[in-house]
C-alpha cells in the first residue's frame, strides 16, 4: 500500500491479499465486502504500540471503524500485551492478533499500514519517529513530545518521509469545541483578548524505596530513552510517571496541550506561537516529603505578538477543567468534564445546532486520520500543529523551572535566554537516538 | 619545544624589559622561562588548592592561567598564583574553552568536579595540551574508553591523579607483593568509608558569581539545590558522583591493578551487597555501606568494603604466606610476617604529597613517554569501581569481558554509557 498515493493499493498487492483469502472453502460474504463491510484488501491494517490505560480508552473507538483491521500489538509489559491481544481477538472473533514485546519487530511487519502509539509520554516522539522511518502512518497520543527539540525533529521526520500523522488532541474533532471555535472566529464575542484554561492540580508522590521489577516487565524497554534508575513503584505505576521530569512534565503540560492546541486552532496560529512566557504562583512539592518533581499548582501565561494572552491555571479538581475565550463583547466557555458550553451573551448558545460526540469519543478524530491515510492530505492535528501546541506548554515548563520570564522567537524557535535554550533538548539514552 | 617557538618566547621575554633579573636568564639555578612548562588550571576548588603546592614547588613550570565557573574561586586562585610568582600575570577565563585556546599553554591541571573530568580532558587533548587530571577520571566506562582513545590519537601525555603510585609506602607494599614476600597473592582487601547520607533540601537561587549551567556541564539540568552541590555532597548523587566506592575506591583498585600487573585488563566477575539511603529521609543516592567482590580470571579476589570512618581506610594484600597493609590515613605500613618491614629502606613520602606524581608527569611531558598513571591504566582501575557500582545498582552478579569491555548482561551494558547534555558531546 505504500507506493500508490491516490488508490493506496496496487494491483499486485491486491492479488497477493486475494490469494490469501482463496484458502477457505466457504467464503463469508463480508470477506468479499458483500454486506456493506469493507473488503479485507481495502482495510487499513493497524498495529498498537503501548496498550495501557489510555489505549484501552481509545481502542474501542478504533475498533468501531469497519475499514481498519488490527493485527498486532506491542507492549513492554507481558500482562498488558496478553490482555490487548484478548481484546482484539474477542472483537474479531479470531486468534490472529500477534504480539511483539519489542515494538521494532511490530514495525518490521510489512502488512501493517499504520500504528496507534499510546505508550507513556517518554516514548511518544521516539516511537513515532521509528514508526515514520518504518513507513507507517501514525496516530500518537498527546503530549507528542517531552522537549521542543524532539518535537521539531518529529515534524521534520514526518515531512521528509511523507508520513500521515495525527496527534491525539482529539478535541479538534468534537462538536462542542468546534462550536466554540466557530463562534470566536465569527466574532460573536467581539475581539478576543484572552484565552483562559484550567487543568487540575498535579499529584504528589511520597518518597519510596526501589523494589524488584515485577515479572513480565521489560523495565529497560519501559524506560526507553530515559536515564536508567531503579524501579520505584510510585514513580512508575498508575500516573506516577507524570510527576517526574524525565518521564512526564506535570498536568499543565499533559492536559494543557489539549487547550493550547484549541487556542492555536481558534487563533489560527498553527504554524507559529506566542512570543512571551511567564509563570506565577507555582507551588512545588516539598522535597522533604515528596519525591515527585512537577508543579502542584500555578499560573502559566503566554502572550502572542498581537497582544492576545493565554493563561493556563493549574488548580482545583479534575472535574473543574475548562477553556474560555474572552473577547471585548463577551465570552464562550467549554467545560471539559461535562462538555457543556456556556457563553455571555447567552444568545450565542442559540446558534448551537448540532449535537455531537463529546471529547471522550475520539471517533471523529480517528475518522479524520483514516481519511488522510487514504487521501495523503494532512490531518487536523498534523505534526507541525501538534508540535506548536506542545511547544507552548513546554516553554511554560521551562519558564517555571528557571523561575523567569522568557521571550520566544517562534520563527527560529529560540528563547532570548541561553539556559532556556539548553532546556529545549534532552539526550536520549543510547541506543535510542533520533 | 622547537626553534621557532623558542625564538618567539625569547623575543617576547627579552625585548621589553630593560633590566633583566638573573632568574629570567636561568643564571641562579632556576629554569629559564623559555624552558618552563606553561600550565593552566581548570577548576580551582578544594582539591586543586590541596594539590597546587605540589605543582608550585616545581621550578620548571609556570601557572599562567586559571579557569572556574565560580567567580570567587577563580579570583582567589589568581591571587594565589600572583602571590607565588610575585606578579599580576595570571589570566582568568570563566570559560575553560578559552583557556584551552591559549597557544602559550603546554599543559593543564584539571581539578573540576567528577562530572567534568573526562569531557574537560578530551577537550584539552584536542587542544593539544598535556594534562594532569584528578581522579576519578570518568563517570562511566564508555567515557573512560573514549578518553584512552583520544589521548592515544593525539599523543597526549596524561597523568591520572591517583598519586599513590608515586608515594613510598604504597610503592614498598607493591614491591613486597611482587617479590613474593607474602607468598602467592590471593586476596586484595580494600576499605573505604561509609557513604554519607544527605537529607532532602529545597532548591534555592543560584548564588551570585556562579555559572551554574557550566557547573552542571554534561549533567542533565536540574534546579540549584544547595545540599546537592555544596562541599563534597555532589559525590553522593549518581549524575555528579558515585559515592566512596568510586570517589576513593579508584585509588585502591589502581593500586591493586598495579600490584598485579593488570594495567591493560581487569577482573572478570563482580558481585556485592549494599545498603541504600532511605529515600523517605535522604535525597542522596549512592550506597551507604557496601561489600563488593571482584575476581580475576586466575582466581585472585579483590574485596572492597565501604564501612566505618574515613580514617579507617586501608588496602591489604593477602598471600598464602602473609600479608602487607597500608593504612591510608596514617601512611603506616604493617605486615605479617613483621620481618617484611625490615626491608623498608626509604623514608616515606606521604600520600598527601603529590609532588613525585607531578614530577613524573613533567618528566613525561619532556620525554613524551607514558606516565605512571597513563589513561589506559587509570581507565582500567576506574572500570573496576564502575562495574562494582553497576552490579550494586542492578542487584546482581555480573561477568565482565575485559577484552571486549562488555558484561554478560544487557542492562549492565546499557549502563556503561551516559549521554552528556548538549552541547557537551565528546
Residue B417 touches partner A, C-beta closer than 8 Å: yes
Concatenating the DSSP letter of every residue in B39-86 gives: EEEE--SHHHHHHHHHHHT-TTEEEEEEE-SBHHHHHHHHHHHHHHHT
Query: Residue A38 carries which DSSP code?
Result: P
**Disruptive mutation site among A148, A153, A230, A399 for chain B (greatest number of B CBs within 10 Å):** A230
Contact A209 B225 (CB under 8 A): no
Closest CA to B242 of B189, B284, B273: B284
Average pLDDT over residues B379-399: 96
* Torsion A165-A169-A170-A176 (CA) sign: negative
Residue B233 CA, distance from chain mean position: 17
- What pLDDT sits at residue B352? 73
Concatenating the DSSP letter of every residue in A345-407 gives: SGGGGGG-------TT--HHHHHHHHHHHHH-PPPTT-HHHHHHHHHHHHHHHHHHHHTS-EE
- Enumerate long-range contacts of B141-144, CB under 8 Å, 24 or more apart: B141/B382, B141/B383, B141/B386, B141/B387, B141/B405, B141/B416, B141/B417, B142/B416, B142/B417, B143/B118, B143/B119, B143/B417, B143/B418, B143/B426, B144/B118, B144/B378, B144/B379, B144/B382, B144/B383, B144/B386
Contact B411 A220 (CB under 8 A): yes
Cell of A326: 474572552
Cβ contacts (< 8 Å) between B419 and chain A: which residues?
Answer: 227, 427-430
Residue B420 touches partner A, C-beta closer than 8 Å: yes
Residue B369 touches partner A, C-beta closer than 8 Å: no
Query: Residue B146 carries which DSSP code?
Result: H
What average pLDDT does the structure give for chain A? 91
Cβ contacts (< 8 Å) between B420 and chain A: which residues?
Answer: 427
Contact B415 A228 (CB under 8 A): yes
Strands A309-314 and B290-295, sheet pairing: unpaired
- What pLDDT sits at residue A320? 95
Contact B414 A212 (CB under 8 A): no
Question: Facing residues of A311 across strands?
Answer: A196, A301
- What pLDDT sits at residue A4? 42
Question: Facing residues of A368 across strands?
Answer: none
Closest CA to A157 of A143, A45, A149: A149
Q: How many helices (H) and strands (E) does chain A have?
A: 14, 15
The crossing angle, in degrees rounded to 10, of helices B141-154 and B117-126 is 20
| A19: pLDDT strictly greater than 60 | no
Residue B206 touches partner A, C-beta closer than 8 Å: no
Cβ atoms of residues A134 and A126 within 8 Å: no
Residue B414 touches partner A, C-beta closer than 8 Å: yes
- Longest Cα–Cα distance in chain A: 71
Residue with cell 488532541: A169
**Disruptive mutation site among A282, A287, A400 for chain B (greatest number of B CBs within 10 Å):** A287
Cβ contacts (< 8 Å) between A209 and chain B: which residues?
Answer: 276, 278-280
A-chain residue closest to B278, CA distance: A209
- What pLDDT sits at residue A238? 84
Nearest to A291 among B225, B279, B417 (CB): B279
Residue with cell 507513556: A120
Nearest to B221 among A220, A288, A423 (CB): A423
Cα gap A254→B320, rounded to integer Å: 64
- DSSP, collapsed to helix, strand or coil, labels residue A335 as strand
Task: Give the sheet arrangement for strand A276-283, strand by strand.
Answer: A341-344, A330-335, A322-327, A192-199, A309-314, A297-303, A276-283, A406-409, A414-415
Cβ atoms of residues A278 and A408 within 8 Å: no
Contact A220 B414 (CB under 8 A): yes
Average pLDDT over residues B260-274: 97
Cβ atoms of residues A237 and A180 within 8 Å: no
- What pLDDT sits at residue A1? 43
Cα gap A121→A126, rounded to integer Å: 10
- What pLDDT sits at residue B194? 96
**Disruptive mutation site among A430, A432, A434 for chain B (greatest number of B CBs within 10 Å):** A430
Cα gap A403→A408, rounded to integer Å: 15
Cβ atoms of residues B361 and B159 within 8 Å: yes
pTM for this structure?
Answer: 0.85
In chain B, % of residues over pLDDT 90? 85
Average pLDDT over residues B312-329: 96
| A196: pLDDT strictly greater than 90 | yes
> Nearest-CA distance from A143 to chain B in Å?
21
pLDDT tens digits, B343-379: 886 555 677 778 899 999 999 999 999 999 999 999 9
| B62: pLDDT strictly greater than 50 | yes
Closest CA to B44 of B78, B85, B74: B74
Cell of A205: 508522590
Cβ atoms of residues B188 and B259 within 8 Å: yes
Preceding amide of B29 cis, omega within 30: no
Closest CA to B292 of B393, B167, B152: B393
Cβ contacts (< 8 Å) between B280 and chain A: which residues?
Answer: 206-209
- What pLDDT sits at residue A410? 97
Quickly count: other Cβ atoms within 10 Å of residue B353's Cβ.
18
The crossing angle, in degrees rounded to 10, of helices B375-394 and B141-154 is 170
**Stretch (H or E) spanning A185:** helix A175-185
Contact A286 B202 (CB under 8 A): yes
B-chain residue closest to A288, CA distance: B200
Contacts of A260 (CB under 8 A, 6+ apart): A197, A310, A312, A389, A390, A392, A393
Strands in B284-376 per DSSP E: 290-295, 301-306, 314-319, 322-327, 333-336
Contact B213 A418 (CB under 8 A): yes
Cα gap A223→A423, rounded to integer Å: 20
> Nearest-CA distance from A296 to chain B in Å?
15
Cell of B400: 565482565
> Torsions phi, psi of A31, nearest 5?
-65, -35
B-chain residue closest to A246, CA distance: B220
- What pLDDT sits at residue A5? 47
Burial A145-168 (b: 16+ CB within 10 A, else e): bbbbbbbbbbbebbeeeebbbbbb
Question: How high is the ipTM of this complex?
Answer: 0.79
A-chain residue closest to B410, CA distance: A220
> Nearest-CA distance from B65 to chain A in Å?
26
pLDDT tens digits, B207-258: 999 999 999 999 999 999 999 999 899 999 999 999 999 999 999 999 999 9
B-chain residue closest to A219, CA distance: B411
Closest CA to A46 of A104, A94, A112, A96: A112
Cβ contacts (< 8 Å) between B411 and chain A: which residues?
Answer: 220, 228
B-chain residue closest to A417, CA distance: B213
Closest CA to B116 of B47, B187, B42: B42
Q: Which region among A146-160, A344-358, B38-52 has the lowest average model confidence (pLDDT)?
A: A344-358
Contact B417 A206 (CB under 8 A): no
Contact B199 A288 (CB under 8 A): yes
Distances (CA, A) of A202 to A242, A246, A250, B102, B180: 9, 16, 6, 50, 65
Contact A422 B279 (CB under 8 A): no
pLDDT tens digits, A102-120: 999 999 999 999 999 999 9
Residue B92 touches partner A, C-beta closer than 8 Å: no
What average pLDDT does the structure give for chain B? 92
Q: Tell which wins on pLDDT, B398 or A38.
A: B398
Cα gap A432→B7, rounded to integer Å: 53
pLDDT tens digits, A119-164: 999 999 999 999 999 999 999 999 999 999 999 999 999 999 999 9
Quickly count: other Cβ atoms within 10 Å of residue A59's Cβ.
22
Amino acid at each position: 500500500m505504500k507506493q500508490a498515493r491516490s488508490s493506496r493499493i496496487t494491483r499486485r498487492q491486491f492479488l497477493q491479499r486475494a490469494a490469501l483469502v482463496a484458502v477457505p472453502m466457504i467464503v463469508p460474504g463480508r470477506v468479499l465486502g458483500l454486506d456493506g463491510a469493507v473488503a479485507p484488501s481495502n482495510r487499513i491494517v493497524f498495529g498498537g504500540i503501548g496498550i495501557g490505560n489510555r489505549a484501552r480508552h481509545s481502542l474501542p473507538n478504533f475498533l468501531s471503524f469497519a475499514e481498519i483491521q488490527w493485527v498486532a500489538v506491542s507492549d513492554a509489559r507481558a500482562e498488558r500485551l496478553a490482555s490487548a491481544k484478548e481484546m482484539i481477538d474477542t472483537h474479531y472473533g479470531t486468534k490472529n492478533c500477534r504480539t511483539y514485546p519489542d515494538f521494532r519487530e511490530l514495525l518490521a511487519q510489512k502488512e501493517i499500514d499504520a500504528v496507534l502509539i499510546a505508550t507513556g509520554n517518554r516514548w511518544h516522539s521516539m516511537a513515532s519517529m521509528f514508526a515514520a522511518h518504518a513507513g507507517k502512518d501514525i496516530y500518537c497520543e498527546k503530549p507528542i513530545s517531552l522537549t521542543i527539540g524532539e518535537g521539531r525533529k518529529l515534524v521534520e521526520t514526518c515531512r521528509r518521509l511523507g508520513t500521515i500523522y495525527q496527534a491525539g488532541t482529539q478535541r479538534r474533532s468534537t462538536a462542542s469545541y468546534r462550536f466554540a471555535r466557530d463562534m470566536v472566529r465569527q466574532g460573536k464575542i467581539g475581539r478576543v483578548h484572552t484565552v483562559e484554561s484550567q487543568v487540575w492540580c498535579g499529584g504528589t508522590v511520597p518518597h519510596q524505596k526501589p523494589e524488584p521489577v515485577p515479572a513480565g516487565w521489560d523495565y529497560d524497554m519501559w524506560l526507553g530513552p530515559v536515564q536508567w534508575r531503579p524501579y520505584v513503584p510510585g514513580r512508575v505505576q498508575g500516573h506516577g510517571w507524570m510527576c517526574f521530569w524525565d518521564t512526564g512534565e506535570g498536568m499543565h503540560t499533559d492536559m494543557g496541550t489539549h487547550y493550547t492546541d484549541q487556542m492555536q486552532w481558534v487563533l489560527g496560529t498553527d504554524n507559529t506561537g506566542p512570543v512571551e512566557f511567564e509563570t506565577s504562583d507555582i507551588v512545588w512539592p516539598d522535597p522533604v516529603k515528596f519525591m515527585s518533581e512537577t508543579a502542584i499548582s500555578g499560573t502559566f501565561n503566554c502572550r502572542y505578538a498581537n497582544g492576545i494572552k493565554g493563561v493556563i491555571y493549574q488548580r482545583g479538581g479534575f472535574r473543574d477543567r475548562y477553556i474560555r475565550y474572552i473577547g471585548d463583547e463577551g465570552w464562550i466557555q467549554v467545560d471539559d468534564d461535562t462538555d457543556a458550553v456556556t457563553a455571555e451573551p447567552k444568545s450565542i448558545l442559540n446558534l448551537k445546532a448540532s449535537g455531537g460526540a463529546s471529547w471522550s469519543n475520539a471517533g471523529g478524530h480517528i475518522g479524520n486520520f483514516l481519511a488522510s491515510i487514504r487521501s495523503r492530505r494532512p490531518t487536523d492535528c498534523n505534526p507541525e500543529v501538534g508540535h506548536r501546541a506542545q511547544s507552548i506548554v513546554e516553554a511554560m515548563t521551562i519558564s517555571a523551572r528557571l523561575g523567569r520570564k522568557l521571550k520566544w522567537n517562534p520563527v527560529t524557535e529560540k528563547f532570548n535566554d541561553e539556559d532556556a535554550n539548553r532546556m529545549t533538548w534532552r539526550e536520549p539514552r543510547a541506543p535510542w537516538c533520533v | 619545544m622547537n626553534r621557532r617557538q623558542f625564538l618567539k618566547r625569547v623575543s617576547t621575554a627579552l625585548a621589553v624589559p630593560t633590566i633583566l633579573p638573573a632568574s629570567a636568564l636561568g643564571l641562579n639555578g632556576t629554569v629559564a622561562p623559555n624552558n618552563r612548562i606553561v600550565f593552566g588550571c581548570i577548576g580551582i576548588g578544594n582539591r586543586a588548592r590541596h594539590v597546587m603546592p605540589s605543582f608550585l614547588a616545581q621550578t620548571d613550570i609556570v601557572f599562567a592561567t586559571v579557569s572556574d565557573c565560580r567567580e570567587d574561586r577563580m579570583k582567589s586562585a589568581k591571587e594565589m598564583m600572583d602571590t607565588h610568582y610575585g606578579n599580576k600575570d595570571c589570566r582568568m577565563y570563566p570559560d575553560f574553552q578559552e583557556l584551552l585556546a591559549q597557544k602559550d599553554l603546554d599543559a593543564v591541571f584539571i581539578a573540576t568536579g567528577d562530572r567534568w573530568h573526562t569531557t574537560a580532558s578530551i577537550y584539552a587533548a584536542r587542544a593539544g595540551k598535556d594534562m594532569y587530571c584528578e581522579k576519578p577520571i570518568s563517570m562511566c566506562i564508555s567515557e573512560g574508553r573514549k578518553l584512552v582513545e583520544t589521548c592515544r590519537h593525539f599523543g597526549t601525555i596524561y597523568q591520572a591523579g591517583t598519586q599513590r603510585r608515586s608515594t613510598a609506602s604504597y610503592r614498598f607494599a607493591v614491591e613486597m607483593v611482587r617479590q613474593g614476600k607474602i607468598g602467592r597473592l590471593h586476596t586484595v582487601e580494600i576499605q573505604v568509608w561509609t557513604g554519607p547520607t544527605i537529607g532532602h533540601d529545597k532548591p534555592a537561587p543560584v548564588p551570585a558569581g556562579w555559572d551554574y549551567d557550566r557547573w552542571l556541564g554534561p549533567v542533565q539540568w536540574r534546579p540549584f539545590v544547595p545540599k546537592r552541590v555544596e562541599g563534597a555532597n555532589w559525590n553522593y548523587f549518581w549524575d555528579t558522583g558515585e559515592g566512596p566506592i568510586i570517589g576513593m575506591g579508584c585509588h585502591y583498585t589502581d593500586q591493586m591493578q598495579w600490584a598485579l600487573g593488570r594495567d591493560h585488563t581487569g577482573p572478570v566477575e563482580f558481585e556485592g551487597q549494599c545498603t541504600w539511603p532511605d529515600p523517605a529521609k535522604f535525597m542522596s543516592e549512592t550506597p551507604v555501606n557496601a561489600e563488593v567482590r571482584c575476581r580475576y580470571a586466575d582466581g585472585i579476589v579483590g574485596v572492597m568494603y565501604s564501612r566505618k570512618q574515613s580514617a579507617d581506610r586501608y588496602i591489604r594484600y593477602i598471600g598464602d604466606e602473609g600479608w602487607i597493609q597500608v593504612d591510608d590515613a596514617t601512611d603506616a605500613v604493617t605486615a605479617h610476617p613483621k620481618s617484611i618491614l625490615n626491608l623498608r629502606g626509604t623514608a616515606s613520602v606521604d600520600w598527601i604529597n603529590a609532588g613525585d606524581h607531578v614530577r613524573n608527569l613533567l618528566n613525561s611531558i619532556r620525554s613524551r613517554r607514558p606516565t605512571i598513571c597513563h589513561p589506559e591504566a587509570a581507565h582500567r582501575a576506574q572500570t573496576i569501581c564502575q562495574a562494582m557500582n553497576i552490579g550494586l545498582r542492578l542487584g546482581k552478579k555480573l561477568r565482565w569481558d575485559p577484552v571486549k569491555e562488555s558484561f554478560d548482561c544487557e542492562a549492565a551494558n546499557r549502563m556503561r554509557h551516559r549521554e552528556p547534555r548538549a552541547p557537551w558531546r565528546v
